[in-house]
Structure 1
Amino acid sequence: MTFLPADTYRLIEESMPIACVDFVLVRQRNGHRELGLILRDSPHGRVWCHLGGRIQRGETIAGAIRRHSRETIGIGPTLPLNPQPDYVYEWFPPDLMPTDGTVSGDDPRKHAIGLSFVVAAEGSPRPRNEGLDFAYFAPSELPANLWPGCRELFALLKLAPLPD
């Protein structure tokens, strides 16, 4: 895989959408679904969000999900050979936010195309690197400090109710 110097990557982020994986860990607890989220520092302050990040050149989608999971919570989920997204969601910086009614998330750093997955949780997640904390939440009890756009993504993935 290729790693780019920070200034080169910044130029790319400012010039074109970045392909990313977004994934929400889910588990069943007492007959109810729970969503596993990480707490992280972000341009929006300290917020809870799903896991994910960019796909590197030469990396498969499954490989990107496993890498981001291992790096952030120390476990790698079992995935099919060619996983297909449950939804394709876009993230925009505020100055590029669509005005046509497109439902999207807010990412001041870049325009990203998120291949979004629901992944069964396996093992004992422990936060590391960007993950400051990890916790499971009932869909009706999501924290108030979610990364802007996560609540809408969870609703589109049919994991949580639509926001008011």
Structure 2
Amino acid sequence: MSFIPQHLYNQILEAIPIVCVDVAIVNDGCVLLVRRRDAPAKGQLWLPGGRVHKGETLRQAAARKALDETGIDCHVGPIIHTDETIFEDGPEGIAVHSVNTCFFLFSRQQSVEVNLDSHHEDWVWIDHIDPGLHPYVKLCLAAAGLDER
């Protein structure tokens, strides 16, 4: 898959919403969150995910993002939440508007090992919803079955 040149992608970001998937990877009653290195939401704990490629289904994108970002080969379950996010702190200072579909996923392997890509600096398995998380992340976690404490 070839990437869009940055100048063209910047024009797209300025003009239209981006279609994205996020994945709630569940293992042993916990959901995986990753800490973002890149804008938007830089430094925040988030669900793995990202843009859908042209010609790729949402389910295919969910499986690809799980594997690419976490190294976990997953079964893709149902859609658990659909929403949108709008960030003023996007790449190169461009606001980002995303339409997000979150899927419930679980690992194909018995033993789950996380291997993050270069866009994430840390990860954590959580068993409850922390009140400090972004509202979209909290909604996805609630849809995955976690409660606030």
After TM superposition, is the score higher than 0.5?
yes
Q: Does residue 151 in structure 1 map to residue 114 in structure 2?
A: no
The 3 A distance-change label for structure 1 pair 45 and 53 is closer
Aligned to 1:66: 63
Aligned to 2:86: 92
Which runs of 5 or more structure 1 residues have no equivalent in the other structure? 95-107
Once residues 131 and 71 of structure 2 are traced to their aligned partners in structure 1, the CA distance between those partners, rounded to angstroms, is 23
Aligned to 2:113: 124
Q: How does 1:1-164 map to 2 (within 5 A)?
A: 1-28=1-28, 33-43=29-39, 44-79=41-76, 84-94=78-88, 109-122=95-108, 123-140=112-129, 142=130, 144=132, 146-147=133-134, 149-155=136-142, 157-161=143-147
The 3 A distance-change label for structure 1 pair 27 and 143 is farther
Which runs of 5 or more structure 2 residues have no equivalent in the other structure? 89-93
State the Cα distance separating 1:160 from its structure 2 match: 3.1
The root-mean-square deviation of aligned C-alpha atoms, in Å, is: 2.6
Once residues 116 and 67 of structure 2 are traced to their aligned partners in structure 1, the CA distance between those partners, rounded to angstroms, is 10
How big is each residue's C-alpha offset from its partner over 1:56-103, in whole Å with a ceiling of 9 and x where there is no partner?
A: 111122221122122211122123xxx652221111135xxxxxxxxx
Once residues 10 and 127 of structure 1 are traced to their aligned partners in structure 2, the CA distance between those partners, rounded to angstroms, is 26
Cα contact 1:152–1:162 (8 A) shared by 2 = no
Once residues 143 and 131 of structure 1 are traced to their aligned partners in structure 2, the CA distance between those partners, rounded to angstroms, is 21
Once residues 66 and 138 of structure 1 are traced to their aligned partners in structure 2, the CA distance between those partners, rounded to angstroms, is 22
The 3 A distance-change label for structure 1 pair 76 and 116 is same
Cα contact 2:78–2:104 (8 A) shared by 1 = no
Equivalenced residue count is: 141
Once residues 24 and 109 of structure 1 are traced to their aligned partners in structure 2, the CA distance between those partners, rounded to angstroms, is 25
SS of 2:84 mapped into structure 1? strand
Once residues 95 and 145 of structure 2 are traced to their aligned partners in structure 1, the CA distance between those partners, rounded to angstroms, is 26
How big is each residue's C-alpha offset from its partner over 1:2-23, in whole Å with a ceiling of 9 and x where there is no partner?
A: 5211111111111111111111
Moved over 6 A (4+): none
Once residues 2 and 54 of structure 2 are traced to their aligned partners in structure 1, the CA distance between those partners, rounded to angstroms, is 6
Identity across aligned pairs (percent)?
23
Once residues 17 and 78 of structure 2 are traced to their aligned partners in structure 1, the CA distance between those partners, rounded to angstroms, is 20
